[in-house]
Structure 1
Amino acid sequence: MNAELIPLVLTEAEGRPAVNSSYFSSINPADGQCLQERYSDKFSDCKFALLGNLYASEGKPGKVIEVHAKKRTGDYSIVTALRKTLEVEYPDKSLALGGTFIIQKGKAKIHIMPREFSSCPLDTDEAVNNWLKHFEVNAPLICQSVLVSKDPGLDLRVEHTHCFSHHGEGGHYYIDTTPDSVEYLGYFMPAEFIYRIDRPKETHTVGRD
């Protein structure tokens, strides 16, 4: 079935088994609302399908970029604002960040894909948005985010953020819906390498945001 994956995985290494603490959000068939579940409660492996934007690190102590922001004054989400700032400051480079941020106060707009694929082609952004299920969810929300200042020619989605919570709400994050009261706290790391896996031979720009 389709769902929104929020990956949190400690990989196998030196005889240590993998630990999958991921969450996923799907549409509850009983009431059409958000259903957030632990991945390990449903599946025994770390596989997933379709697409993913993942950030991997060694988990060692070191310097990070801390972002603490309150009260959104523009039209961009915090992720888009970070990405566009990097694009302006470093116009000749493609810089990627990965990390986690918490929406500490306020509410956010998210989407969750329906469990079943569409019965008709989704060939416009409007068609995709009409197919997706949109929700307004409450803080605190824990968001896993990957962003790239500009595509270096690898046909990337330049930003992708999924969120989960301890009160059962989560999915694909767009933007906060309470700009006057929202508060963010996040920690990010620059990426050293970008790996593009299974790049499709034919591509499109539909549903990229």
Structure 2
Amino acid sequence: MNIIAKEIEFPGAFILGAGAAPFQTLGINAEFMPIVQTKSDHKPAVNGSYFAQINPEDGGCLLEKYSKKYNDFGFALLANLFASEGQSGKVIEIKAKGRTGEYNFVTCMRKTLEKHYGDKPVGMGGTFVVQNGKVKVHIMPPEFSSCPLTSDEDVNNWLHFFEIKAPLVCQPVFVSRDPGFDLRLEHTHCFSHHGEGGHYHYDTTPETVEYLGHFLPAEILYRIDKPKETHTFGRD
């Protein structure tokens, strides 16, 4: 995270988002919820991140907060990040109660931006709270797959899926359209204070779900280490 802040010429940036936890440090694959104040010339970095892994004892969901034992500011595989000054100010507040269509909360916002701005890409980041209801999440297995995953079906068969309950704090990063950078258009991870978290897919209780979110539009889009070979599966 500190290297990312340096690369985007934003030392001391406050970073939220979703990514893969650093298996090099943890020794396992896990879902990463970065909450990091990166280092600057005047202040050291602060890590308040969470990660969700498969519980080795019962195969369930195990959420942990970073501690001195896991004081790693890195991540692995990929991450979608939103960097800001981390200061108070004006934000966009969105409240929603009940889901009537097929799209999840983040996709609805992204498609609304796409419809309004058309070919102009608009990126946003922030947080939202699932105040009521339950959501479907996934967590990667602790070990990498022994064979290549070459389709959405392969990816879904490899992942572990769970239904977890509110309240949940979610960290979305989304872009209305891809301007040719080979982007993952939306990525959201969530954590809680009752030991559950993971990669957010959608709510499973459309009649009772409630959302409260606060967001900011991004000013600059950075694409770091774009792969030479790419694919489109496993991006939902």
TM-score by length of 2: 0.87
1:116 to 118, 140, 143: 143
Taking the aligned partners of 2:162 and 2:104, their CA distance within structure 1 comes to: 16
Q: What aligned pairs does 1:7-26 form with structure 2 within 5 A after superposition?
A: 7-26=34-53
Aligned to 2:158: 131
2:76 to 20, 41, 49: 49
Q: Flag the structure with more relative contact order, 1 or 2, with Cα contacts below 8 A and sequence separation at least 6.
A: 1
Task: Count matched residues.
Answer: 209
Aligned to 1:36: 63
In the TM superposition, what whole-angstrom CA distance separates every residue of 1:42-94 from its partner, at most 9, and x where no partner exists? Answer: 42230111100000001223221100000011100000000000011111200
| Letter in structure 1 aligned against 2:40 | A
Taking the aligned partners of 1:6 and 1:83, their CA distance within structure 2 comes to: 20
Aligned to 1:71: 98
5+ residue gaps, structure 1, are none
SS in 1 for 2:42: coil
Q: In the superposition, relative to structure 1, how do residues 83 and 156 fare at CA in structure 2: closer, same or farther (>3 Å)?
A: same
SS in 2 for 1:79: helix
- Shift of residue 41, structure 1, vs aligned partner: 4.6
5+ residue gaps, structure 2, are 1-27
Q: What aligned pairs does 1:103-182 form with structure 2 within 5 A after superposition?
A: 103-182=130-209
In the TM superposition, what whole-angstrom CA distance separates every residue of 1:134-181 from its partner, at most 9, and x where no partner exists? Answer: 000000000000000001111110000000000000000000000000
Identity %: 67
| Letter in structure 1 aligned against 2:178 | D
Aligned Cα root-mean-square deviation (Å)? 0.9
SS in 1 for 2:189: strand
TM-score by length of 1: 0.98
| Letter in structure 2 aligned against 1:201 | K
Taking the aligned partners of 1:141 and 1:40, their CA distance within structure 2 comes to: 21
| Letter in structure 1 aligned against 2:158 | W
Aligned to 1:102: 129
